[in-house]
Amino acid sequence: MQNSPTDIRKYSFFLLLTLIIAAQAWVNPEYIETRFDNALTSYRSGDYTTAHLGFTDLLMDSRGSRFYAMTYYLLAMSSYKAANWEVSTREFGDFAQKFPENPAAPTAWVYRGNAFYKSGDLVNATKSYLYALDSPSSDPATMAVARKSARALLWGYLAKDQLLVISDCTEGPSSQLVDYIRAKRHAYSGESAKALDIATRSLNRRPTGDFADSLRNLSNSISKSLSDNLVIAAFAPTSGAYTEYGQNMLNGIELAIAQYEKSSHKKIEIVVENTGADILVGAYAARNVLGSHSPVAAVGPLTSDVAVSIGAFCDQYRVPMVSPTASKDGLAGISPYVFQIATPPSIGAEKLAEYALNNLYIYRFAALAPDDPVGRKAVAYFAAKAEELGGEVVSVAYYAEGTVDFSEHFAHIRKPFYEQMQRQVARAETRTLDSTNRTAQCAMKKSG
């Protein structure tokens, strides 16, 4: 079968296209080497712009050759030498991620860290040095430079919250270095409990490593210091509307600690923080005392809302908090370090209803409660349990915060009982009158 002119043209086109692709895919190795040497000569002479152009032009052609990885690396070095920090960080990162097993990969991470440092990005500079430490092909000299640079930034340049960000991004052996510096900085700032928590978590996650012994020694030192200097944090309102209640709570705390000191012969320091019965003031007080005094436990606060905010900080610092008065439902559930002694409204209201009906045989109730979510919830729980057991709440009154005169509230909750009593008296009077009339009628009949 003979091909048509159209088919011949199609075959010719595809053949030409194949030859062009093949020509582009194959480049004379000697020509690649010559171009590489030319770019390298420009690099060595200090003409980094020309060198960068030469390595960029060679990058695609050198793929698959022995010059490919080195071309990639020298491309980044040309940008670095030309003080083009932004481009060099990207190119060094590309090289290190593309050739992680290459002996130059750890050095690329170090240069990338230097470029970030030059541009003022200290967080990414630190991360790059840590990547060099975790690189599988790191040599001792490169590791020494990376470790020295990372430690300098972690200890003297970065803020503690920035260290936390870096810690969350590192997973290799270098994470132990970050944990050690973090723990040590918190310890030097007086935040012993936080430092101990960091060291303990780090050792649990990675019990061996270059900084395992340092972490262990730091942990033991902090533990001994905390056991020799016991501190209890007391959160209470020492100003404002609840000052009297706060002072009474503090008196109880001081009495309990005095009894313990007498029996244990140990001295306990009480650090009192004023919450002002305010959520924000309480949160600030918690951050201040938990971070600077490292208490072994916290007592208080007075109110449930403030207890929630302080309990969140106690959970973060892993400090047990015992609140003797906060009664909000679910308060103890926000953290395994939060404990409440006061009965929650739901449980207290239900138990009160059960006792009233099952033990006192009372079936009709009036309720007086604070006009807030806690008070209304307590009445709802009580009414539900009373109804379940065959009773009923016939009247309810709520009072506003600061109320001192409850006469109107008592009149309101007595009204249903008073009305029923009037109906009973009226029925009794009616029965008496009917009886008197019948007696009179009988007497009249007898006399007539």
C-alpha 282/C-alpha 275 separation (Å) is: 4
Q: Which residue has the tokens 């006061």?
A: 342
> What φ, ψ does residue 136 adopt, rounded to 5°?
-65, -20
Q: What is the pLDDT of residue 19?
A: 43
**What type of residue is 43?**
Y
Residue ranges in the chain whose pLDDT is less than 50: 1, 15-26
The 10 Å CB-count burial string (b at 16+, else e) for 14-42 is eeeeeeeeeeeeebeeeebeebbeebbeb
Q: What is the pLDDT of residue 20?
A: 44
For 290-308, how does the pLDDT look when each residue is reduced to its tens digit (9 = 90+)?
Answer: 877 778 899 989 888 899 9
Q: Strands 297-299 and 230-236, how do they pair?
A: parallel
Cβ-Cβ contacts under 8 Å for 201 (sequence gap 6 or more): 179
Q: Which domains does the chain have, with CATH numbers?
A: 35-227 (1.25.40.10), 229-342 (3.40.50.2300), 346-437 (3.40.50.2300)
DSSP label at residue 102: S
Q: What is the pLDDT of residue 120?
A: 95
C-alpha 49/C-alpha 80 separation (Å) is: 11
Q: Which of 198, 202, 201, 172 minimizes the C-alpha distance to 187?
A: 198
Which two three-digit tokens encode residue 170?
A: 């590192």
Q: What is the pLDDT of residue 6?
A: 59
Which two three-digit tokens encode residue 165?
A: 């960000």
**What type of residue is 264?**
S
Omega cis (within 30) before 301: yes
Report CA-CA distances (Å) from 311 to 58, 190, 333, 386: 62, 21, 10, 34
Q: What is the pLDDT of residue 27?
A: 53
In terms of Cβ atoms closer than 10 Å to its own Cβ (0-12, 13-18, 19+), residue 384 is middle
Asked if residues 91 and 108 have their Cβ atoms less than 8 Å apart, the reply is: no
Q: State whether residue 165 is helix, strand or coil.
A: helix
Q: State whether residue 369 is helix, strand or coil.
A: strand
For 37-71, how does the pLDDT look when each residue is reduced to its tens digit (9 = 90+)?
Answer: 999 999 999 999 999 999 999 988 888 888 999 99
C-alpha 307/C-alpha 298 separation (Å) is: 11
Cβ-Cβ contacts under 8 Å for 11 (sequence gap 6 or more): 3
C-alpha 183/C-alpha 199 separation (Å) is: 6
Q: What is the pLDDT of residue 22?
A: 41
Q: Strands 321-323 and 268-274, how do they pair?
A: unpaired
Q: Which residue has the tokens 């915060």?
A: 401
- Listed in sequence order, the DSSP H helices in 189-303 are 192-205, 212-228, 243-264, 279-292
Q: What is the pLDDT of residue 11?
A: 53
- Cα-Cα-Cα-Cα torsion 273, 275, 281, 283, nearest 10 degrees, comes to 70
C-alpha 251/C-alpha 236 separation (Å) is: 11
Q: Which of 317, 337, 45, 368 minimizes the C-alpha distance to 195?
A: 317
Asked if residues 82 and 91 have their Cβ atoms less than 8 Å apart, the reply is: no
Asked if residues 43 and 51 have their Cβ atoms less than 8 Å apart, the reply is: yes
Asked if residues 235 and 200 have their Cβ atoms less than 8 Å apart, the reply is: no
Distance from the first to the final alpha carbon of the chain: 150
Q: What is the pLDDT of residue 26?
A: 46
Q: Which residue has the tokens 């929650």?
A: 344
> What is the number of alpha carbons within 13 Å of residue 48 lying toward its C-beta?
13
At CB < 8 A and 24+ separation, what contacts does 343-350 make? 345/374, 345/377, 345/378, 345/381, 346/377, 346/378, 346/381, 348/378, 349/378, 349/379, 349/381, 349/382, 349/385, 350/381, 350/382, 350/384, 350/385
